[in-house]
Structure 1
Amino acid sequence: MPATLGSLLADRTFGLRAVGHIDPERLDLPVSWVHNSDLPDPTPWLEPGQLLLTDGGQFLPPTSAEPDAYCIRLRERGVAGLGFATNVIHPVIPDDVIEACRRHSVPLIEVPRATPFIGIIRHVADVEAADRSARLSWTLESQRALARAAVRHDGLREILRTLSSRLGTWVALFDAAGRRLSLPGIADVPASVEAEVDEQTRMLLRKSAPASVRVAGPHAATLQTIGQAGRLRGVLAVGADTPLDSGHGDLVESVIALASISLEQQRAVSDARLRLRTGVLELLIAGRGGEAARSGAAVWGRMPSPPLLAGRVPVFSGSQSLLDELELMATAEPESLFFAEREEELVLLVSRHRLAQLGSLLAAHDTTAGFAELDRWAALGRALAEAAYAAQYAREPGSVEFAAIAEHGVMGTLRRGGGALVARRMLTPLDALPAEHRDRLVGAARAWLDANTAWDPAARALGIHRHTLRARIDELGELLDLDLSTFGARAQLWAALELAAESGAATS
């Protein structure tokens, strides 16, 4: 431990005495060096944390330093304290110096005549050297301990246990998805700071760049990302009530380097598994379900089997954190979830009971997937096409089922897909007609279509001759460029009239 004002006062060799009250926190601050000077303003040669010793010559003529101004300069410079020798120039410390130190919170220590300044200086220097030597020894032994831990079977966790033991504090490791890894035998994150550590971890990962942050509080912590910009592999959190010193910081940096190597190795394995997933999916799409099931079972133990929901994210950005969380979900229950990347999309096969959980995960990553019923592998292509269609109609991130869209029928789909706008464009030629003429043509078309395009019943309903009705329908077909002798054209006309009426267009 470095020398402090408290340790110097406690050392009877020097016979030092505190003059007035000194804040206990100031007594525990390290003294970085000891400097002696009788200059009226010694601050240009002082650094924060240093102890200044003086005989008090500056407070005598001809210099006669003003005590208040003198103490203000010392305080602003951040000195650890002022040691004033007595029975050398001054028999006692002058009262105005004592008052100035009190007013400006400069710790004041009386140094007896029998105590040479050089003795205090050498003592602090020896303590500092011994402290450096101890820190170096501690660092070397800690690095050796890390090296021994790294070659153990469970290397990553042993490294973190060593770090926790050497620092005497809790340690937590988060993966790229922001999940805390289980570390048996290591002190857990204190409840008082757990929520803040979790939130700061997510913030660091979202930035996707190397960074660190300190969490304040009764159980403070230092958080440091692991990995390179755009390829973060996780975050290491270390409990520390004060910022880490150089020795502790070097140890943490070594752990981060070793953890980064370990996580990169795990990532390589994970990437290989993702490629294997893509291969299994291609087998399923090719109709080779048996081979796909055998290949999947060899790696994951089991594969989902219909009935399932087939999901599709048509444009997938490749979010690594989402893939990591999907891997964890699939590992926990492989028979109910399978996923794979295919070109620029993400395909998901999930059991009905896991859909809500999966939807929440997708929403948390601002991702939308459509899902469709899959009752047999042979229908996978159709289900994926329906899923892609459903994804287009999602109004917010998460999951949307094709069945929810299909239950509204074809007309419902047309309504959702802007069919009213297309209908209005199709009927635009009618806008050029006088209102009365337009209403006659539209009324004739509605009666004719309601009568299943039978001429006589429609004419009777309108109270006109069937030749008159035929003439109006022919005119309408010519205006709209539709061959109303065909079923397709009649279906288009009916749909256009229905959608335009719903949109409030004047077509009746």
Structure 2
Amino acid sequence: MLETVGDVAQRFRLRVPTGEAGLTRPIRWTHLSELIDPTPWLRGGELLLTLGLQLHDAEDFAAYAVRLAQAHIAALGFGIGTHHPSVPPQLVAEATRHGLAVLEIPQGVAFQDITYQLNADLLRTGAAESRLIAEGVSAMTQVARSAGTQGIVATLAHRIESWAVLMDPHGTIHAAVGAARVHVDDARAAALGQRSRIRHPGLTVYGVGDPVRPRAHLVVAPRPDRISLTRELAQHATLLLDLALNPLSGGNTWGLARADAVDALMSGDSTLIERVSARWNLVAGDVTVALLRSRSRAVPLEENVLAWCAELDLPPLVSEESSLVTALVPVDEVPRWRERVTRAVEREGVPARCGLGTAQPLAASALSRQQAAQALAVAVADAKPVVDFAGLATGRLILQHLDPAARTALTTPLLPLLAGDTTRVLLRSLRVFLSENTNWEAASSQLGIHRHTLRQRMARVEELTGLSISTTEDRVIAWLALQALHADHPLDPG
């Protein structure tokens, strides 16, 4: 355990003109300096010893105290009798105002005696702390195998002799050990950045998983004398919690397993479906296929969908292929799923669109996926978070069921694109551009290309079709042609 400022004052019988403030701060090292600004050589937590040889007037004393307080030193030891007969009152006043303890060191107490004794003790304490860290990491690792996240958090709280809370990115508590209701409220406010008064200052928040998009937050309340121990153990705990929360996240094995399960369940093979359903603990009943696409390639949509499944306690039957994410949702969970996706898009800023098919037995889930693809195309076109196939407008359903001759008539303006663009790059670029309401930035981001490249493609579209994308009537003609073409390819929503 690190010695505090009060321990040092008592050991060397030093007067503390600043009173009780700051006496509980732990001391991590001692440092001697006569520089008027020693802060570039300080790391925080030091007992700084000085005779004040460079300090001459009230302005010097005040500025000196402010600099040291902002450097977060543990305390200032001020030697008297050589250059200053006592600790300058201006220094005492400013240090007191900032909660910085000042120890008055008389001539009879040598700086070398303080540094020698304290640093020797600190080295012994450091060795002991390293041993505590090693023991704590070992204990958390062992308990993680049997007790999961609750065991990891409980062991961490015991080792740091304080409380700890683990919550998901939305504030739902996974585990809380040693924490009362007020502690949990403070932990949630600290982790989510809520604008509320936190009654327990000094809380530390650690992200579990991706530092940019953590899958959980670990909040701890370090004791003043165990800050470094708490930091080391908490950082190790986040690694173990990451594995405990998603044990199969390593490599691509988990993704391949999910994709294979989704393919098998949608294969129509009743024997295979029954076997896979048993392995994934699926209850009997209808499912709805959800098909999702992100409006930005920078967003890890599959990870978001998996997080939503975990939050809603749904089986993670999710796969990603060609920028489309497929999820199988039990029919009785569809309302909660729809609400979750909508909240993610409208409140959390996830740039996604979702199409939902109708409820079908697993053996007929391929039909639900076709419907979800058509609903997704509408969601993209109308900029809606979620669209249900069952709620599609009658006009669109009629368009998708026109006879071939009628569809050919509608698609005639785009036939030059089909003839001259075997990769359909121009056709897809046109669809995305119109879906994004002719917004160059949004469309180019969706396609993953520079806006100048998109402008070149649209110029080529105009050249081949004779249509003008700057004219409302021509854009309507192009959009109807695209919708008619899409009716022939329901599995390709974009």
- TM-score normalised by structure 2 residue count: 0.59
> Compared with structure 1, are the counterparts of its residues 297 and 406 closer, same or farther at alpha carbon in structure 2 (3 Å cutoff)?
farther
For residues 144-180 of structure 1, give each alpha carbon's deviation from its aligned partner in whole angstroms, at most 9, with x where no partner exists: 4334435x423554333221211123334456x7675
**In structure 1, distance between residues paired with 2:66 and 2:32:** 18
Tell me which residue corresponds to 2:463: none
Aligned-pair CA distance for 1:121: 4.0
For residues 74-113 of structure 1, give each alpha carbon's deviation from its aligned partner in whole angstroms, at most 9, with x where no partner exists: 4255273354445xx79x936xx64443454476655556
**In structure 2, distance between residues paired with 1:320 and 1:170:** 30
Percentage of pairs with the same residue: 18
- Provide the secondary structure at the position in 2 that maps to 1:132: helix
Greater relative CO (CA pairs within 8 A, separation 6+): 2
2:273 to 257, 269, 292: 292
> Compared with structure 1, are the counterparts of its residues 82 and 67 closer, same or farther at alpha carbon in structure 2 (3 Å cutoff)?
farther
Tell me which residue corresponds to 2:240: 258
Tell me which residue corresponds to 2:353: 368
The 8 Å contact of residues 314 and 388 in structure 1, kept in 2 or not, is answered as no
For residues 369-410 of structure 1, give each alpha carbon's deviation from its aligned partner in whole angstroms, at most 9, with x where no partner exists: 333445667765554433322332233444323333354686
The 8 Å contact of residues 43 and 73 in structure 1, kept in 2 or not, is answered as no
Aligned-pair CA distance for 1:42: 6.8
Matches within 5 A, 1:188-227: 190-197=183-190, 199=192, 218=200, 220-227=202-209
**In structure 1, distance between residues paired with 2:7 and 2:156:** 29
Say whether 1:16 aligns with 2:14: yes
- Provide the secondary structure at the position in 2 that maps to 1:182: strand
- Provide the secondary structure at the position in 1 that maps to 2:267: helix
**In structure 1, distance between residues paired with 2:139 and 2:292:** 47
> Compared with structure 1, are the counterparts of its residues 125 and 267 closer, same or farther at alpha carbon in structure 2 (3 Å cutoff)?
closer
Say whether 1:279 aligns with 2:263: yes
Which amino acid counterpart does residue 153 of structure 1 have in structure 2?
S
**In structure 1, distance between residues paired with 2:360 and 2:208:** 44
**Which is worse superposed, 179-188 or 273-282?**
179-188
- Provide the secondary structure at the position in 2 that maps to 1:129: helix
**In structure 1, distance between residues paired with 2:8 and 2:289:** 74
Tell me which residue corresponds to 1:52: 49
- TM-score normalised by structure 1 residue count: 0.58
For residues 19-55 of structure 1, give each alpha carbon's deviation from its aligned partner in whole angstroms, at most 9, with x where no partner exists: 4xx1422333445566779x7x67669857434364x
**In structure 2, distance between residues paired with 1:180 and 1:229:** 19
The 8 Å contact of residues 191 and 205 in structure 2, kept in 1 or not, is answered as no
Aligned-pair CA distance for 1:188: 7.0
Tell me which residue corresponds to 1:399: 386
> Compared with structure 1, are the counterparts of its residues 250 and 402 closer, same or farther at alpha carbon in structure 2 (3 Å cutoff)?
closer
Tell me which residue corresponds to 2:333: 354
**In structure 2, distance between residues paired with 1:218 and 1:225:** 19
Tell me which residue corresponds to 2:61: 71
1:159 to 139, 144, 152: 152
Tell me which residue corresponds to 1:321: 304
The 8 Å contact of residues 311 and 348 in structure 1, kept in 2 or not, is answered as yes
> Compared with structure 1, are the counterparts of its residues 195 and 31 closer, same or farther at alpha carbon in structure 2 (3 Å cutoff)?
closer
- Provide the secondary structure at the position in 2 that maps to 1:124: helix
Which amino acid counterpart does residue 186 of structure 2 have in structure 1?
V
**In structure 2, distance between residues paired with 1:267 and 1:295:** 20
1:388 to 373, 396, 399: 373
For structure 1, the 5+ residue unaligned runs are 202-214, 427-508
**In structure 1, distance between residues paired with 2:225 and 2:374:** 54
**In structure 2, distance between residues paired with 1:232 and 1:251:** 18
Tell me which residue corresponds to 1:461: none
> Compared with structure 1, are the counterparts of its residues 369 and 138 closer, same or farther at alpha carbon in structure 2 (3 Å cutoff)?
closer
Say whether 1:247 aligns with 2:234: no
1:146 to 140, 148, 164: 140
1:238 to 180, 202, 220: 220
Aligned-pair CA distance for 1:117: 4.9
The 8 Å contact of residues 357 and 388 in structure 2, kept in 1 or not, is answered as yes
> Compared with structure 1, are the counterparts of its residues 130 and 357 closer, same or farther at alpha carbon in structure 2 (3 Å cutoff)?
same
Aligned-pair CA distance for 1:300: 1.3
Tell me which residue corresponds to 1:81: 76
**In structure 2, distance between residues paired with 1:378 and 1:31:** 68
For residues 301-333 of structure 1, give each alpha carbon's deviation from its aligned partner in whole angstroms, at most 9, with x where no partner exists: 42433xx655444789742121242256464xx
For structure 2, the 5+ residue unaligned runs are 345-349, 414-494
Which amino acid counterpart does residue 15 of structure 2 have in structure 1?
R
Tell me which residue corresponds to 2:126: 132
> Compared with structure 1, are the counterparts of its residues 134 and 67 closer, same or farther at alpha carbon in structure 2 (3 Å cutoff)?
farther
For residues 162-206 of structure 1, give each alpha carbon's deviation from its aligned partner in whole angstroms, at most 9, with x where no partner exists: 21211123334456x7675633766478343244355359xxxxx
**In structure 2, distance between residues paired with 1:3 and 1:270:** 49
**In structure 1, distance between residues paired with 2:330 and 2:245:** 31
For residues 213-270 of structure 1, give each alpha carbon's deviation from its aligned partner in whole angstroms, at most 9, with x where no partner exists: xx97625533333446799665433334779843332222322333444456332575
- Provide the secondary structure at the position in 2 that maps to 1:393: helix
Tell me which residue corresponds to 1:183: 175
- Provide the secondary structure at the position in 2 that maps to 1:161: helix
Aligned-pair CA distance for 1:345: 3.6
The 8 Å contact of residues 285 and 361 in structure 2, kept in 1 or not, is answered as no
**In structure 2, distance between residues paired with 1:338 and 1:382:** 17
**In structure 1, distance between residues paired with 2:361 and 2:137:** 57
**In structure 1, distance between residues paired with 2:211 and 2:76:** 45
> Compared with structure 1, are the counterparts of its residues 42 and 30 closer, same or farther at alpha carbon in structure 2 (3 Å cutoff)?
farther
Instruction: Let me know the Cα RMSD of the aligned residues.
Output: 4.8
Which amino acid counterpart does residue 76 of structure 2 have in structure 1?
G
Larger radius of gyration: 1
**In structure 1, distance between residues paired with 2:284 and 2:30:** 72
**Which is worse superposed, 224-233 or 358-367?**
224-233
